[in-house]
A and B are shown apart, each in its own frame.
Chain A
Amino acid sequence: MLRERLRTVGVRAACSLASSGILPARLFFTVVLLFLKLLTHTALRLPQHRLRLRSQQSPQSGLGESRFLGHLLRTVEQACRMTEQLYTVASDSETTGEDKSQMSFPDVAIGIDIGTSNCSVAVWTGHQVELLKNTRNQKGMRSYVMFKDDTLSAGVTGGATQEHGHEERDILSGSAIFNMKRLIGRMDTDEVVQASKNLPFLVQTLGIGVRPFIAALVNNMWRSTTPEEVLAIFLLELKALVEMHLKHPVRNAVLTIPVAFSRFQQTRIERACAMAGLHVLRLMPEPTSIALLYAQQQQQLLHDNMGSGIEKIALIFNMGAGYCDAAVTATAGGVSQIRALSGSTVGGEDILQNVMHHLLPDFDSLYAGQTMDRIKSIGLLRMATQDVIHKLATQEHVEINVDLGGGHKVSKILGRGEFEKVNQAIFEKCEGIIKQCLADAKLTPEDINDVILVGGCSKIPKIRSVVLGLCKKDDSYGGIDPLEAAVSGAALEGAIASGVTDPSGSLDLLTIQATPMNLGIRADGGNFAAIIPRNTAVPARRDMMFTTTHDNQTEALIAVYEGEGKQAEENHLLGYFKITDITAAAKGTVEINVCMDIDATNVLRVFAGVVKPQGQAIPPFIEVRMPTLDDGHGWCGQALAKMFGSTLDLAAVPKKLHP
């Protein structure tokens, strides 16, 4: 039984790696063979065998591949141990009801909150949502992967060190990659990537719209990796942790993502999950998973005869280390309707960098090169600054004394007022996000019943006063843990979307999602014609009519974009395709229908075709799942413009007005 299981696990893992493109075909077979060979050996001889195979492997394969294989093998070993556990548990623990109920949920998706700084995982146990703890008894685990010699270890198991106090220092040693969530799916022209060059690991940019080069320090050498790979390694460890707890394999997951994530970034998250052997059931914007948890609590109140059952409007503000988002939701009867969403790439990391630059104004000129001294100094300053920011949440003044080495010292007393002035631009951005959200939902502060403040930055007094002030409230909603809400909501969604029902009705819940960004195509020159406007309830389907811009134009380009800009080029290009064989006719007489469809799992499909004139041989409509683009969005748009100019342009047909 154990062998059967391990074989399936191994082949499946190898398949998913091969299909996700991380594993070349030649290695695919090696991995499958490896698993089959592993099975023929006893548990006792397994480690030696593993080592031998690994050393054979390394010379022909690239460093990254062998590293990943090494990690894969370790995970398989863990899985092996885990499966053995499963075997004993299944035969021994007939009496424990809880284990049995967990055993009957093999397909229920787990909830994962991958934060820029911290990560957590939760599962539906059959009665409630439970956050899992790692071996160090932490529910919130630091998000990083440590690169040391041949071994990789993620923050799940506290890979950097066994001593908690030293973890932060090791993370900042240059050997760990963190802030993956800020870097994933971004090009080197992105300002977030540019700002990441202050981090202790290597972020190299060329500024031409390609992926940045990212590397960790291993034995005094920069060893390259990618945000997807780092995230995959982290998720592998996380998955092993969950399987250890649940005592059965886990396949499906619901992950929370920032509202500001583009569809392209979402595909990168899905890819990292595939590399880790996880299937993404849903990617939930963080505030919407909190909205689901809120809907459950409101239902519970109603059950206990403490709630009124009247629709309640909540504003959810979530700010972590990397992102900030807001949502307005209308909740009643267990259903939370997302009325508006807005978000931005601004978070605790920006606050940290601002304060670091404030404490050491010549920071950039002092630490220009990527030397060991620089890494150490930046690490020391970063830790001291983090500490100051945390203390300023409860203290009015904090004294800072840190020796950065090389004759540089920072000695200062930082007051809360000064801290707030330094970060004024960030607080203004937060205000902007909330104002936009309220305006989009067509609500005033008086309409809001509850203000829900979550995320690490919600502890900052100024953030609280900004949000509560805008909503004209004295205090925030108290029933939600600011650091556990997102992952709990994700686990709830995981159970609901997996088809679990609860006799007590505690899962009769629903979040009706809304689109965070406009979706449309390029038309009327370089303009952006939004077909599905932002904050449309999902699932959604809308269409628009377009026409040709030249006489006898037989081809048209459908370039699909996502974003808020009025010009197409200001937005994210998701993909493009051509409509061909249009019947030659005077410009403006042809009618081309473009329809966009977002299903409940948030998959976007674009349908397009000619509806007028209906000739003899009318070409079939084209259906394209978006995004189709992989890299270098900016380049593609420019290349298309250069190649075709305006020859394939379309013009939007204004809809006829009502009589």
Chain B
Amino acid sequence: PAPALRRRRRRGSVRARAGAGRGGGRGESPYEVLGVSPSAAPDEIKRAYRRLALKFHPDVNKEANAQEKFLRIKHAYNTLMNSESRSKYASGNTDSSRTYGKSRAPSADEEEQFYGFGD
């Protein structure tokens, strides 16, 4: 059978987890974004990240808000893969917008920030 040219990729059940808009993303925990349990091992987090990347990365997902979704997934992944930010998260700091905004000099490991421009 000849493969078909499709503008849009299949969307799976993970879509809901990635959140529909920026507003919804703010309150979500990185665990919720990635769909993993708070006790998830790094390997599990990596697997979830890859699975979501294959669905939402703008290279493969041609929907208009794919970039925003992927940035949020990437942000959640970076937060959980960095032991420092993960432990900070686990220690009960649930005000995610504050946590995300106050870091030191940037390094490639750190997370992206979300502002109301750049769509």
Binary contact readout A623-654 vs B (1 if CB under 8 angstroms, 0 otherwise): 10000000000000000000000000000001
Which of the segments B11-19, B26-34, B105-113 contacts the partner chain?
A: B105-113
Is the Cβ of B2 less than 8 Å from the Cβ of A510? Answer: no
Is the Cβ of B104 less than 8 Å from the Cβ of A499? Answer: no
Is the Cβ of A510 less than 8 Å from the Cβ of B118? Answer: no
B103 at interface by CB-CB < 8 Å: yes
Which residues between 66 and 110 of chain B lie within 8 Å of chain A, taking CB atoms? 66-67, 70-71, 74, 88, 102-108
Is the Cβ of B67 less than 8 Å from the Cβ of A656? Answer: no
Is the Cβ of A108 less than 8 Å from the Cβ of B5? Answer: yes
Roughly how many angstroms separate A97 CA and B3 CA in the complex, as a whole number?
Answer: 12
A514 to chain B, nearest CB (A): 8
Is the Cβ of B54 less than 8 Å from the Cβ of A335? Answer: yes
B116 to chain A, nearest CB (A): 10
- In the complex, the chain B residue whose C-beta lies closest to that of A282 is B59
Binary contact readout A491-529 vs B (1 if CB under 8 angstroms, 0 otherwise): 001001111111100011011101000000000000000
Is the Cβ of A332 less than 8 Å from the Cβ of B6? Answer: no
Roughly how many angstroms separate A251 CA and B32 CA in the complex, as a whole number?
Answer: 41
Contact of A503 among B3, B70, B113 (CB under 8 A): B3
Is the Cβ of A655 less than 8 Å from the Cβ of B102? Answer: yes
Is the Cβ of A539 less than 8 Å from the Cβ of B117? Answer: no
Roughly how many angstroms separate A607 CA and B119 CA in the complex, as a whole number?
Answer: 11
Interface centre among B5, B59, B104, B117 (most CB of A within 10 A): B59
Contacts of B8 in A (CB 8 A): 499
Roughly how many angstroms separate A337 CA and B70 CA in the complex, as a whole number?
Answer: 14
A101 at interface by CB-CB < 8 Å: yes
Contacts of A508 in B (CB 8 A): 54
Which of the segments A4-12, A54-62, A571-579, A594-602 contacts the partner chain?
A: A594-602
B23 at interface by CB-CB < 8 Å: no
Contacts of A542 in B (CB 8 A): 106, 112-113
B56 to chain A, nearest CB (A): 10
Is the Cβ of A496 less than 8 Å from the Cβ of B106? Answer: no
Contact of A657 among B10, B57, B102 (CB under 8 A): B102
A544 at interface by CB-CB < 8 Å: yes
Which of the segments A21-29, A236-244, A530-538 contacts the partner chain?
A: A530-538
- In the complex, the chain B residue whose C-beta lies closest to that of A598 is B67
Roughly how many angstroms separate A623 CA and B119 CA in the complex, as a whole number?
Answer: 11
Contacts of A655 in B (CB 8 A): 102-105
A521 to chain B, nearest CB (A): 13
Roughly how many angstroms separate A541 CA and B47 CA in the complex, as a whole number?
Answer: 23
Contacts of A512 in B (CB 8 A): 53, 57
Roughly how many angstroms separate A496 CA and B107 CA in the complex, as a whole number?
Answer: 30
Interface centre among B1, B46, B102, B106 (most CB of A within 10 A): B106
Roughly how many angstroms separate A543 CA and B111 CA in the complex, as a whole number?
Answer: 11
Contacts of A657 in B (CB 8 A): 102, 104
A658 at interface by CB-CB < 8 Å: yes
Contact of A599 among B9, B58, B112 (CB under 8 A): B58
Binary contact readout A24-46 vs B (1 if CB under 8 angstroms, 0 otherwise): 00000000000000000000000
- A503 and B1 in contact (CB under 8 A), knowing A497-B59, A543-B113, A599-B58? yes
- A333 and B104 in contact (CB under 8 A), knowing A499-B62, A510-B54? no
A173 to chain B, nearest CB (A): 44
Q: How many residues of B contact A (CB 8 A)?
A: 41
Is the Cβ of B108 less than 8 Å from the Cβ of A535? Answer: yes
Interface centre among B51, B71, B114 (most CB of A within 10 A): B71
Roughly how many angstroms separate A530 CA and B8 CA in the complex, as a whole number?
Answer: 36
A322 at interface by CB-CB < 8 Å: no
- A500 and B3 in contact (CB under 8 A), knowing A333-B51, A510-B53? yes
B71 to chain A, nearest CB (A): 6
Contacts of B53 in A (CB 8 A): 335, 510, 512
B112 to chain A, nearest CB (A): 5
A657 to chain B, nearest CB (A): 6
Is the Cβ of B117 less than 8 Å from the Cβ of A607? Answer: yes
Contact of A502 among B3, B54, B60, B103 (CB under 8 A): B3
Contact of A496 among B2, B59, B115 (CB under 8 A): B59
A621 at interface by CB-CB < 8 Å: yes
Roughly how many angstroms separate A593 CA and B4 CA in the complex, as a whole number?
Answer: 45
Roughly how many angstroms separate A595 CA and B105 CA in the complex, as a whole number?
Answer: 15
Contacts of A581 in B (CB 8 A): none
A334 at interface by CB-CB < 8 Å: yes
Contacts of B47 in A (CB 8 A): 332-333
- A510 and B102 in contact (CB under 8 A), knowing A332-B47, A541-B118? no
Roughly how many angstroms separate A99 CA and B106 CA in the complex, as a whole number?
Answer: 52
B31 to chain A, nearest CB (A): 20
B79 to chain A, nearest CB (A): 13
Contact of A500 among B5, B43, B113 (CB under 8 A): B5
Contacts of B2 in A (CB 8 A): 97, 100-101, 104, 126
Is the Cβ of B46 less than 8 Å from the Cβ of A656? Answer: no
A499 to chain B, nearest CB (A): 5
- A599 and B3 in contact (CB under 8 A), knowing A512-B57, A655-B102? no
Is the Cβ of A658 less than 8 Å from the Cβ of B102? Answer: yes
- In the complex, the chain B residue whose C-beta lies closest to that of A501 is B6
- A537 and B74 in contact (CB under 8 A), knowing A501-B3, A502-B3, A600-B67? yes
A105 at interface by CB-CB < 8 Å: yes
Apart from A311-B46, A498-B5, A530-B106, list 20 A-B contacts with CB within 8 A: A100-B2, A101-B3, A332-B50, A335-B50, A335-B54, A499-B62, A501-B9, A501-B10, A510-B53, A510-B59, A541-B71, A544-B106, A599-B58, A600-B59, A600-B70, A607-B117, A621-B117, A655-B104, A658-B88, A658-B102
**3 residue pairs, one from A and one from B, having the closest CB atoms:** A600-B58, A335-B50, A333-B50
Q: Which residues of A contact B (CB under 8 A)?
A: 97, 100-101, 104-105, 107-108, 126, 311, 332-335, 337, 440, 493, 496-503, 507-508, 510-512, 514, 530-537, 539-544, 593, 595, 597, 599-601, 605, 607, 621, 623, 654-658
24 contacts between A and B (CB under 8 A): A126-B2, A126-B3, A335-B54, A496-B59, A499-B8, A499-B62, A501-B3, A501-B10, A503-B3, A510-B53, A510-B57, A510-B60, A511-B59, A512-B57, A514-B108, A533-B107, A534-B108, A537-B108, A541-B71, A542-B112, A544-B106, A623-B117, A655-B102, A655-B105
